[in-house]
Amino acid sequence: MKIKIERSQKEKISKQKKERIVSVGKHRKIVTALWILLFCSVSFGIYKNFTAIDQHTTHEKVVVREEVVNTSGVENFTIDFAKEYFSWKNNKEAIEKRVSTLSQYLTEEGLGLSQDMVRADIPTSSEVESVKILSVEKQSTKFVISFLVNQKITKEEKSQPTSSAYRVTIYKDEKGNYIVTNLPTMIGKPEKAKYEAKQLESDSKIDAETTEEITEFLETFFKLYPTAPEKELEYYVENNAMPPINTNLKFSELAGIVYQQKGDSIQVSVVAKYLDVISKSTDSFQYCFTLQKSGNWKIINVY
């Protein structure tokens, strides 16, 4: 009976120990797996957050570059054509020569129409004094050119000047050759632009002593400026705001000086008059610049 009891207790003890070992091992694996999952989730969240910020703050810049078109060829062609087209003499030989010359510029249709412009019995002759290009507009393989023609019209012994503006269309082929596709059409001549300059007045807050100092500084500076080397100008000018001009001018006077206070600086508008030693003409140069005083007055920038 004693032996039976002892076996029963050993079996119970061994079962209890076995169950405890298996149960604890499973929990550890699950907990470890959960920690790994949590760590991966947090890491992925942080990654997505930073990625979202980067995408939000990224701005695309589109750089538009204008195509530079060399129009010197078509401009010269237009000038040469205009000189031939608007010039004639009132004799048969000159008129025939004009038609032959224009055949190098015009289409067959245009050449036929241009013959009606100058008749064999025309009482006038025309001399082109100048041709000025006003504008050039590129349209695919064509150019629309606006230009101004100054002529001298002569009838019998009397001459008078005339000026007119025209527009013409010129075609350019793959080889760079030009042809006038339509005859010049008259357009309005350009007029003088309307502009009223703002009248500046000196600042009343600037005292007389300061204006006297500045005037003296300006007179000294403009007397030496035409021939002063860069090293000497450094005493009067900062950052090469007024580079050397190295020319033969003789200072005459200052005119129209206007002083305006801008913080610790003074803006000056002035006209400096010079006598050109070679041409003997009087040149008036307008300047607008900012002055600052640091020991002595200096020009810090020109605007």
What's the fold here for domain 72-187?
Nuclear Transport Factor 2; Chain: A, (3.10.450)
Residues 151-167: tens digit of each pLDDT: 999 998 899 999 999 99
* For residue 4, pLDDT beyond 50: no
Give the pLDDT score at 63: 62
Instruction: Kindly indicate whether the domain formed by 208-302 is annotated with CATH number 3.30.930.10.
Output: no
Q: Do domains 72-187 and 208-302 have the same CATH topology?
A: yes
Give residue limits of the domains in the chain: 72-187, 208-302
What's the 3-state SS for the chain?
CHHHHHHHHHHHHHHHHHHHHHHHHHHHHHHHHHHHHHHHHHHHHHHHHHHHHHHHHCCCCCCCCCCCCCCHHHHHHHHHHHHHHCCECCCHHHHHHHHHHHCCCECHHHHHHHCCCCCCCCCEEEEEEEEEEEEEEEECCEEEEEEEEEEEEEECCEEEEEEEEEEEEEEECCCCCEEECCCCEEECCCCCCCCCCCCCCCCCCCCHHHHHHHHHHHHHHHHHCCCCCHHHHCCCECCCCCCCCCCCEEEEEEEEEEEEEECCEEEEEEEEEEEECCCCCEEEEEEEEEEEEECEEEEEEEC
The percent of residues above 70 in pLDDT, for the chain, comes to: 78
Mean pLDDT (whole number) for 225-230: 95
Residue 60 scores a pLDDT above 80 = no
pLDDT-derived band at 53, boundaries 50, 70, 90:
very low
pLDDT band at residue 120 using 50, 70 and 90 as cut-offs: confident
- pLDDT value, residue 157: 87
